[in-house]
Structure 1
């Protein structure tokens, strides 16, 4: 019956693809695994080489249009999230990874594919351009689980976001050259320049046109805004392609970057662009690609294809990182971990799918291995680099020491949430299942049981501090006394509920905070110093007060008056060799100092990064 109704077959196939996409996203969230693995796995299982339930050829010539629209949505979303104004605040390592690192990966990966697989050099370089992009959809969830030190997390997150736009433009540029290279090198370069110019102009013009339209039509409902943006972006893509074939991707990237750069009305609404539409686009691209892959094409790559991917992971990526971070004050452990964290993902597969279709449409010979090679690259890098990230981070000691909180009641959960918001790695533990459940539902890392039962798992000897914060003073005192005997160097902090127990804690060299005293101090601060209170109480939107060490020699031996502090940030206190001082314009910093910064969140984080040694 279905075979006699091709339209119904297409509808059924689309329904299966969308359901698999939703299921894959849920499984990824449930098991904290990149959803891309489930998307590709389901496509392979139900595709032409599996059960045959998904047959991409049913879409005919429409498949190319579906993939083009999906890639346009995915690429626009990625570019939209990049704030070009933040580039001037980026560390030299991030800029190096996005520029030097991209070029190094592009060239070496391209030449390795050319030499080992026999791909024509132009097609080898196309592979190099595609795999020059790491994947924010893989990297960022991994970073959330690992709780790396702030500097390293900032570098990896910024690289994965920024490099997508660079890699997409590079891929489009290489393909433009390939498609026009029949006219010689000069003709290929000329076509590349034309494509980038036309695509860039149309993309920028599209966003400026939207801005003018939105300015003249205030009060539009959010759903209409998103539909207008989608229509305008696809219109710009189509117009660019009509004027100069293969210039559409350049138009999409420039539109996304422009939308992130200017003050665009309804910007917050537009940022929701990545919702359902992106999920649909991801499902279509990944599942249909995997369903269409012939496994014999992957196996036909042989040991040479496997070697290309291994070289990318163990030689090319590390060399690119070494060159990119040359001169930055990163430890070798941090450099090695950046080199390890190079998983490829959504945008790489999307571009590979689109390029494979375009190469076939242009009848360019020898291009068949590119899609399976990119697929192999994504699978291996996600499994090996993504899966082994936690193990490598622990061995390299790039994860900050954990803060352990004993107790999961309301006070403990609030404390945990505040510390997590400050970038700390926090674990709560309690013997009562209900508070543990509430902590887990609030996004906190929590364990059920006794602290000594989980001593090895918690790594008590390596904790930054332990906070005994149960409602029972006797329990808190017993825990602290036991741990003081076993771990003399561990910093112990106790919540004291009844002031009469405070002396007992202090006799054991345990730092304390008495709830009654804390409440009284907070109330007096609110009464006498109302402008200071929000900073101390984590209530001031956009403001921040932090203590941070000085690690960068570039910030030392320069008077503060000439240090070019961000506009909304001040150095309030300076601690040197245990002594506190209030700095002035002639004060100079030294490596090892600890400073207290007060100001707007972005300004404080910007200067904190500079002090961290990666400016």
Structure 2
């Protein structure tokens, strides 16, 4: 297929479809993308993007990788690694060169590659792709320290590994007499200095430019994208692929600046990154030649075993000595190192150049890189979660609920959830409210939930749902809007109504429908309503449905007005009654309901005429008389 427009359309649709299918099947998306690329390219010959795109292939891939790394840098806040900064530095600065050296030795002596190719391959395999690590970390729900190390390593090692490969390639050209050693040293030093300083200057300049209002909101994201592409191209003029370091430093610089619009910019970049990762991985895999895949022999199996089971563990365990990590954390980090799109992209770039120079092993280097990428994606992608669970490095095996606002209502709900072994945390900035929750033996977080400190110190991966239950409907809506992007808009709930009091004040007092979360009750109940219910004796109850006690019996046995809040399935999944597509609880589910005390049920019967008030008084008097008579007979 040589129609580029049709190729791009097919790649785009297939990439996003793969992402969606991977989400539905709960498997790493890169696995799906790898399979689609192999089908489009080597297996069927449907397309060969390297040939079809021609001279545009290399700059397009380089630019796309730069944007991906910049977006990764935007997620790195220095406050997150206060506990793991020593470990991160050692993993990048000590472990990286060790992996380079040992992998080069394995490629030469086991893979039988020429030294120039083996050294470049060793540099390429230093990287651990953030495009693979990020989805895996979201799925695995690791504890803070190992998750932070893997994320920082993945983002920082990508430009470092690419620079190692460039330096190795330039050194080979020096040996061939293409240019002198002094030129290489000066160029390398200048490129690194320019990359670091240029990234910092560009990041701070853009932050100041945006913060002072020199650009309207609708132009901030386009300006940012244009600067990223420009800085990448500018640094690459001095040293190939050095632009990757520039944009990574630029992203980290902006991530640690106090920029109000950073959240919106990050969302835009995340959308672009998903599209680029989906398309790039298919393009790079489809460009792989069938002959290159068939050239793989038994040596690649031994090479993979050395890379995964010997080289990486040795490098991690040696570099993290005295870094404050436990044995289980070091073991997990030593195993998890999936390679991704940067390794494939840079391997393709240098493979083409080395083949043109005349090195026969260049194509094998590309094949070995793809083999490592495929093996690590599959092995690490499917083993991270069970290994983390085995080593007790996951946050929790059960979905939790974050409750904002400590009141008698929310504390009672938290206690009932805790009794059902549901992880629950109450956050509130009022110390007296927090104290009441602590006295009730509920886990609390004292502080402003919308503060920067909360976003760094609260591990949101522990919570699948959030309830905003303060006495301010507008604040509840703001909290749900802020956290909805991370937890999921369908998983954030609030008491009161996002619609405001339309019946009394009119539409001008109503909030926009895009603001806030879903009402916890239908129809919505205000903070004052729930407070009065608690004062009147309403409580939370947990009721398990069985084959004998079904949903119908539950409704019949509850006092009138009882409100089912949520139910907990045997798999520990939590379903809110007002959630989209919630359905009805089934046998085995435990319903958490909020309702009046049972005594009110008798009063309801009186009102309905089932038992008149006079008959009730007579019956009570009769029983009292009989009791007195029995006591008199016993005394006599």
TM-score range, shorter chain: 0.5 to 0.7
Compare 412-421 and 200-209 and name the one that shifted more: 412-421
Which residue matches 1:35? Answer: 29
Which residue matches 1:74? Answer: 68
1:33-432 alignment runs, 5 A limit: 33-53=27-47, 55-84=49-78, 89-182=83-176, 183=179, 185-211=181-207, 213-214=209-210, 217-218=213-214, 220-222=216-218, 224-263=219-258, 266-359=261-354, 366-399=361-394, 402=397, 411=413, 416=422, 418=424
1:471 aligned residue (541, 550, 553): 541
CA gap of 1:279–1:331, structure 2 versus 1, over 3 A, is: closer
Contact 1:181 / 1:188 at 8 angstroms: preserved in 2? no
2:5 is equivalent to residue 11 of structure 1:
yes
Shift of 1:272: 2.8
Q: Write the distance in 2 (CA, Å) between the matches of 1:425 and 1:211.
A: 32
Shift of 1:358: 4.9
Q: Write the distance in 1 (CA, Å) between the matches of 2:326 and 2:82.
A: 23
Shift of 1:42: 0.7
List per-residue Cα deviations over 1:162-203 (Å, max 9, x = no partner). 433433443444444445553355543333223323444444
Shift of 1:372: 1.8
CA gap of 1:208–1:392, structure 2 versus 1, over 3 A, is: closer
SS of the counterpart of 1:301?
A: coil
SS of the counterpart of 1:369?
A: helix
Which residue matches 1:482? Answer: none
SS of the counterpart of 1:102?
A: helix
2:491 aligned residue (434, 438, 442): 442
Q: Write the distance in 1 (CA, Å) between the matches of 2:357 and 2:213.
A: 43
Q: Write the distance in 2 (CA, Å) between the matches of 1:265 and 1:441.
A: 25
Contact 2:160 / 2:245 at 8 angstroms: preserved in 1? no
Q: Write the distance in 1 (CA, Å) between the matches of 2:29 and 2:544.
A: 46
Q: Write the distance in 1 (CA, Å) between the matches of 2:461 and 2:223.
A: 41
Q: TM-score, normalised by structure 1?
A: 0.62
How many matched pairs?
440
CA gap of 1:382–1:192, structure 2 versus 1, over 3 A, is: same
Q: Write the distance in 2 (CA, Å) between the matches of 1:389 and 1:82.
A: 22
Gaps of 5+ in 2: 401-409, 427-457, 466-487, 494-538, 550-593, 598-636
Compare 15-24 and 229-238 and name the one that shifted more: 229-238
Contact 2:188 / 2:239 at 8 angstroms: preserved in 1? no
SS of the counterpart of 1:471?
A: strand
Compare 316-325 and 76-85 and name the one that shifted more: 76-85
Shift of 1:341: 1.6
SS of the counterpart of 1:75?
A: helix
Compare 86-95 and 411-420 and name the one that shifted more: 411-420
Contact 1:318 / 1:339 at 8 angstroms: preserved in 2? yes
Shift of 1:336: 2.1
Q: TM-score, normalised by structure 2?
A: 0.60
Contact 1:82 / 1:162 at 8 angstroms: preserved in 2? no
Which residue matches 1:492? Answer: none
Structure showing greater Rg: 2
CA gap of 1:332–1:219, structure 2 versus 1, over 3 A, is: closer
Contact 1:313 / 1:340 at 8 angstroms: preserved in 2? yes
Q: Write the distance in 2 (CA, Å) between the matches of 1:283 and 1:358.
A: 25
Shift of 1:156: 3.2
Shift of 1:335: 2.5
Gaps of 5+ in 1: 429-438, 445-468, 480-513, 518-615
CA gap of 1:207–1:48, structure 2 versus 1, over 3 A, is: same
Q: Write the distance in 1 (CA, Å) between the matches of 2:227 and 2:489.
A: 42
SS of the counterpart of 2:18?
A: helix
Q: Write the distance in 1 (CA, Å) between the matches of 2:145 and 2:238.
A: 44
